[in-house]
């Protein structure tokens, strides 16, 4: 949603912006063009391989981005290191990039056979997907598939996984995908059941909702009064968290009264954008916060 991102960030020439999920650098480069050489774009990503892609995207356009391997939830540490008190806008475009999905060796896709990994940060301390499916209890697995994957056969699936791992632990996506498909009852629908299960597992591996919660609690400290916070989410749980948080926070004035979705033209060209939801907010000043508190 490039146009929408640029609009809601209300970019200023010479401004400083954080792209908390730099990914392949698409949004970061668009922002960098708008803020010009006097401005600054700080791009964060948990995945070092994505930062390398972002660096190349920028280099191809004759630009350099200020890129750091960090969770967006730890942006405060990066900003402190850079000597930046507050920024004019903070963007996060949550989830997985199509590049990561295509990298077989990262284990995000059920359409190719790779290691059951799914970590955004392969050097971090999060468990791999294999560790979760081989070691977590049946109830914990069912909860992941139900809550994060919205899979209604979550219990049946967790049982099948636990039964199978007794004889042979999982280590490959292909093998795991086959067990999922076999465990599903009835005729196959339009959507491969692996879609929901892989999504649930990825969210658990990376503690994606926990990271989002940490961000929501802190982001007001890093954005100057009048500055913007823009979130694009793909999962209803994430969107709900953002919506409720912004509505209840005195630090933020919600600008998107109705959630913003991709235009029809974008949805046609990019099927992933069909589930994208954008919300934007403006950082209130201290005086506005006091007024809000007294309302």
Ligand X SMILES: C[S@@+](CC[C@H](N)C(=O)[O-])C[C@H]1O[C@@H](n2cnc3c(N)ncnc32)[C@H](O)[C@@H]1O
Compute the least distance from the CB of residue 169 to ligand X, in Å: 27
CB of 108 to ligand X, least distance (A): 10
278 is a site residue for ligand X (CB under 6 A)? no
50 lines the binding site for ligand X (CB under 6 A) = yes
Asked if 27 is part of the footprint of ligand X (rule: CB under 6 A), the reply reads yes
Out of 72, 90, 170, 198, the only residue in the binding site for ligand X (CB under 6 A) is: 72
The reply on whether position 46 binds ligand X by CB under 6 A is yes
Subset of residues 167 to 226 that bind ligand X, contact rule: CB under 6 A: 211
Give the 3-state DSSP-derived string for the chain, with helices as H, strands as E and coil as C: CHHHHHHHHCCCCCCEEEECCCCCCHHHHHHHHHHCCCCEEEEEECCHHHHHHHHHHHHHCCCCCEEEECCHHHHHHHHHHHCCCCEEEEEEECCCCHHHHHCHHHCCCCCCCCECCCCCCCCCCCCCHHHHHHHCCHHHHHHHHHHCCCCCCHHHHHHHHHHHHHHCCCCEHHHHHHHHHHHCCCCCCCCCHHHHHHHHHHHHHCCHHHHHHHHHHHHHHCEEEEEEEEEEECCHHHHHHHHHHHHHCCCEEECCCCCEECCHHHHHHCHHHHHCEEEEEEECCHHHHHHHHHC
Tell me whether residue 27 or residue 284 sits nearer to ligand X (CB atom): 27
Judged by CB under 6 A, the stretch of 68-76, 128-136, 172-180, 189-197 that binds ligand X is: 68-76
Tell the smallest beta-carbon distance from residue 289 to ligand X (Å). 27
CB of 146 to ligand X, least distance (A): 22
Closest to ligand X by CB, 19 or 164: 19
The single residue among 8, 17, 110, 120 that binds ligand X, judged by CB under 6 A, is 120
Options 1, 17, 39, 97; binder of ligand X; rule CB under 6 A: 97
By the rule CB under 6 A, 24 interacts with ligand X: yes
Which residues of the shown chain bind ligand X in the complex (CB under 6 A)? 20-21, 23-27, 44-47, 50, 71-73, 93, 95, 97, 120, 211
């Amino acid at each position: 949603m490039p146009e929408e991102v640029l609009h809601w960030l209300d970019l200023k020439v010479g401004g400083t912006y954080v792209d908390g999920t730099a990914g392949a650098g698409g949004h970061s480069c668009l922002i960098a063009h708008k803020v010009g050489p006097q401005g600054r774009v700080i791009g964060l990503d948990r995945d070092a391989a994505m930062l390398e892609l972002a660096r190349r995207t920028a280099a191809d356009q004759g630009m350099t981005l200020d890129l750091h391997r960090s969770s967006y939830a730890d942006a405060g540490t990066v900003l402190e290191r850079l000597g930046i008190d507050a920024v004019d806008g903070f963007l996060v475009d949550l989830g997985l990039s199509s590049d990561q999905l295509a990298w077989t060796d990262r284990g995000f896709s059920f359409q190719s056979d790779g290691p059951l990994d799914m970590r955004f940060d392969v050097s971090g301390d999060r468990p791999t997907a294999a560790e979760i499916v081989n070691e977590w209890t049946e109830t914990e697995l069912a909860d992941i598939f139900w809550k994060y994957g919205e899979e209604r056969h979550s219990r049946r699936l967790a049982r099948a996984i636990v039964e199978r791992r007794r004889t042979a632990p999982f280590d490959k996506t292909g093998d795991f995908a086959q067990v999922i498909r076999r465990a599903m009852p009835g005729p196959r629908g339009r959507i491969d059941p692996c879609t929901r299960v892989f999504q649930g597992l990825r969210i658990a591996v990376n503690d994606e909702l926990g990271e989002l919660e940490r961000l929501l609690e802190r982001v007001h400290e890093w954005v100057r009064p009048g500055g913007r916070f823009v979130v694009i989410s793909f999962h209803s749980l994430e969107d709900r968290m953002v919506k409720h948080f912004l509505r209840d926070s005195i630090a933020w004035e919600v600008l998107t009264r109705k959630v913003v979705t991709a235009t029809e033209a974008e949805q046609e060209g990019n099927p992933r954008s069909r589930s994208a939801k954008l919300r934007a907010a403006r950082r209130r000043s201290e005086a506005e916060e006091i007024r809000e508190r007294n309302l």
